[in-house]
Structure 1
Amino acid sequence: MRFQALDGWRGVCAIMIVLHHLNLNWHGYSAPWVRNAYLFVDFFFVLSGFVISSAYADTLHRPSALKRFIVRRLGRIYPLHLFTLLALIAMELVKLAAFKAGAHMNQAAFSLSTSVDAMLAHLFLLQSMHLFPYLSWNLPSWSIGAEFYTYLLFAVVVALIRPLGKPLAASVFIVLLLMSGTLLMVLSPHGQNATYDFGFLRCIVSFLCGAVCYGVYRKHASVMLRWHNAAEYAALALVLIFIWFAGEGPGSFAAPLVFAIAVLVFSLQQGGLSAIMMAPWSQSLGQWSYSIYMVHFFVTGILLNRSIHFIENNLHLPLSVGSAGSVKGLIVFQNPWQADGLALLCVLASIYLASQTYRRIEQPWRHYFNRLSERGEAQRSRRSERATVPE
């Protein structure tokens, strides 16, 4: 089943994360719903747990299905991840050439967050495993590695435990959820905002909340249909209030539960808000959401910052507060309305760039990996048929 309303939510989450990473003094910069928008990554994780469970929970106990699942998941996330990493490596090579030509650089090429060691971690999707004490390369991509290994954990548990019975598999997931949640609360120094350090634990908790949420959906969807409109407005209010007050304190650990409630409500797709989420424009944003998430760093973290740097150094117009200000590196305009216009331009640029990478990178490579997985299944079927045909 296709959950179109949840696809619409993906687009909302992606845009909120872009706004969170805009280091401009636009009017919404200090608003809690922007500063706490890092939590929408957990919405993505919960959505993944729900959708992956709906698509694969009943089939992964077969070895062939397990292989197909891994190939499809890798094809879903890795090509665009590799493309963005290669683009950043190319930029570092340009920086290295410029440095050798005598240009001044704030940070040497292939050092710290763009080191070769960190590059290797990204190639193997290990950037959320606390190998380095900072975010590296394409900074938001820490979640991609965390999600891939959570996919594998989910698949292995289903493949090994599900044949022994659904209740046992559900119990194992709940135990993993509680263990990971406890470890995250004990170890994370910034509440739910764990990334390069304990991002894997964070992903496990949110993903498994989504998986449990799907179990509730399967059993009780028909009952919940009676209150769809009121439930959608209540769920939206819950999300907005939570985002406003969550911060990075202990309360932020409730994010997976809050988002699981919202996912459960909107999975029914019956209310007026779901109709908005299923509108064509919303579906397009949802379709491009992974690309928006993966490429917006090029707009907000590279293009914007380097353009401002050029203006400051060559036109001698101070725009950023710098280390002396209350927010290090915040780009400040005398007129915040100018910052609003630039913020809007960055969002639109991120969406446009994402629409292109979706069409040229993400979609064709996903189709290729899907065909690859089906080809392997077809070959196994033919071998099986030949083995059962008498000579």
Structure 2
Amino acid sequence: MSETRISAAAFADTKPHYELLDGLRGVAALLVVFYHIFEGLSFAAGGTLITTINHGYLAVDFFFILSGFVIGYAYDDRLGKTMSLGNFFKRRLIRLHPMIVMGAVIGAVTFCIQGSVQWDGTKIATSMVMLALLCAMFFIPAVPGVRYEVRGNGEMFPLNGPSWSLFFEYIGNILYALFIHRLSKKALAVLVGMLGVFLAWFALFDVSGYGMIGVGWTLDSVNFLGGSLRMLFPFTMGMLLSRDFRPMQIRGAFWICSVVLLLLFCVPYIENNGPISLNGLFEAVCILFIFPILVWIGASGKTTDKRSTQICKFLGDISFPLYAVHYPLMYLFYAWLIDNKLYTFGEVWPTALMVYIGSILLAYLCLKCYDEPVRRWLTKKFMPKKPAA
């Protein structure tokens, strides 16, 4: 997951800004936190089906298409012309990596608060926690079974699990800079079509065996393939949309898209009863068709007053920090659920609400006290100055 909101210094002086896409990204991030609360209840109960916001994992696929749209819009006509590859990579690192580092640090702190033990109770040496932190800060994923995979359930980034999607985001940015941006619109459309076929195959035939497309978080072969497809199709689809975008007149675009996302994420899990996965069919329809339409609608809409503009800006600003730092708090929440044998939302809703609000507050503090100042300093130090007029 990367940001929808692009720094004003990047191109606000030459291109309009899509405020509603910022807001939609924030809505999706808030729904992800809600989904992870119910994931914790499922995990504590021994792996039962996640309820209520059953398909919240599809927010990752929505993030990828938003990212592809905005990156294509921001850089297609500049990369290799007025912007070098080096400056593109520096800009992306400055935008993304400070919060990746912060998420890893908070993850290490919460792991130590838990007593530095794996889920099965195995004690982990402090040296391995520090090695896991170092690897996470340099974005080196853990292979399942290595000693610094400290939680013991195979995560790429055991101190902050959702960083797996940012790992694939980095891969997408590299591929975009090296060759995707050079493709003609026709060639890009062919690539998108091929990737869509492969993604549909992966979902419809339940290649992972999970009964869902919630893959990519670990480094086994099926997860790496699935994670790559989950990133590549929506990422390139977003870029294709940005190249051929023609806004349409639509009122209430933000609310329409927000309600549709909520409804899609709350569709109950569909059990597989045949060679074709019905749950995979639902996922494929969402990713291949509905999400691109939602991005198109969101990019077409406009905020109508100062208050709605402020709300969308806040949601856009908070979205990436919230995604980047909320999960370490979830680890603490999960451990509390397991220790107290609590498995239903009705039993834990006051604590769950505190975790939810606390995640938002933590993200806002990280944004204002760390992320924005650090990015300003890095931009001033490492990005080229514009010549005086």
Shorter-chain TM-score tier: 0.7 to 0.9
Structure 1 counterpart of 2:372, from 339, 357, 363:
363
Q: Which residue of 1 aligns with 2:220?
A: none
Q: Which residue of 2 aligns with 1:242?
A: 264
As a proportion of its length, which structure holds more helix?
A: 1
Q: Does 1:205 align with 2:224?
A: no
Q: Which residue of 2 aligns with 1:325?
A: none
Give the Å deviation of 1:247: 3.6
Give the Å deviation of 1:245: 3.4
Structure 2 counterpart of 1:259, from 279, 285, 291:
291
Q: Does 1:189 align with 2:221?
A: no
Tell me the amino acid that sits aligned with residue 185 of structure 2. Answer: P
Distance between the aligned counterparts of 2:143 and 2:299, measured in 1? Answer: 32
Please show how residues 1-391 of structure 1 align to structure 2 within 5 Å.
1-22=16-37, 23-24=40-41, 34-62=53-81, 64-90=83-109, 106-109=121-124, 122-125=136-139, 127=141, 134-135=154-155, 136-158=158-180, 161-162=182-183, 166-167=184-185, 169-171=187-189, 173-174=191-192, 177-178=195-196, 181=199, 184-185=202-203, 187-190=207-210, 191-196=212-217, 197=223, 198-217=226-245, 220-221=246-247, 224-225=248-249, 228-229=250-251, 235=257, 238-245=260-267, 247=269, 249-250=279-280, 251-256=282-287, 257-270=289-302, 278-302=308-332, 304-307=333-336, 319-321=340-342, 330=343, 332=344, 336=346, 339-375=348-384
Distance between the aligned counterparts of 2:238 and 2:68, measured in 1? Answer: 4
- TM-score normalised by structure 1 residue count: 0.72
Give the Å deviation of 1:355: 0.4
Q: Is the 8 A contact 2:188 2:236 kept in 1?
A: no
Q: Is the 8 A contact 1:276 1:282 kept in 2?
A: no
Q: Is the 8 A contact 1:235 1:261 kept in 2?
A: no
Give the Å deviation of 1:36: 1.2
Distance between the aligned counterparts of 1:347 and 1:12, measured in 2? Answer: 14
Change in 2 beyond 3 A, CA 1:87/1:300 = closer
Q: Is the 8 A contact 1:72 1:373 kept in 2?
A: no
Kindly report the root-mean-square deviation, in angstroms, between the aligned alpha carbons of the 2 structures. Answer: 3.8
Structure 2 residue ranges without an equivalent (≥5): 1-15, 43-47, 218-222, 271-278
SS in 1 for 2:84: helix
Deviations 1:63-118 (A, max 9, x none): 8432111111111111211222133335556777x88xxxx98232159xx87886
Structure 1 residue ranges without an equivalent (≥5): 313-318, 322-329, 383-391
Provide the aligned length of Structure 1 versus Structure 2: 336
Give the Å deviation of 1:151: 1.0
Tell me the amino acid that sits aligned with residue 201 of structure 1. Answer: L
Deviations 1:235-288 (A, max 9, x none): 55654453343747212123323111101001112477xx79944234213211
Deviates most, 125-134 or 60-69: 125-134
Distance between the aligned counterparts of 1:72 and 1:49, measured in 2? Answer: 16
Change in 2 beyond 3 A, CA 1:367/1:18 = same
Give the Å deviation of 1:203: 1.1
Deviations 1:321-370 (A, max 9, x none): 5xxxxxxxx3x47xx2x622222211110010000111122212322333
Tell me the amino acid that sits aligned with residue 136 of structure 2. Answer: H
Distance between the aligned counterparts of 1:320 and 1:267, measured in 2? Answer: 45
Deviations 1:35-65 (A, max 9, x none): 2111111111111111111100111133843
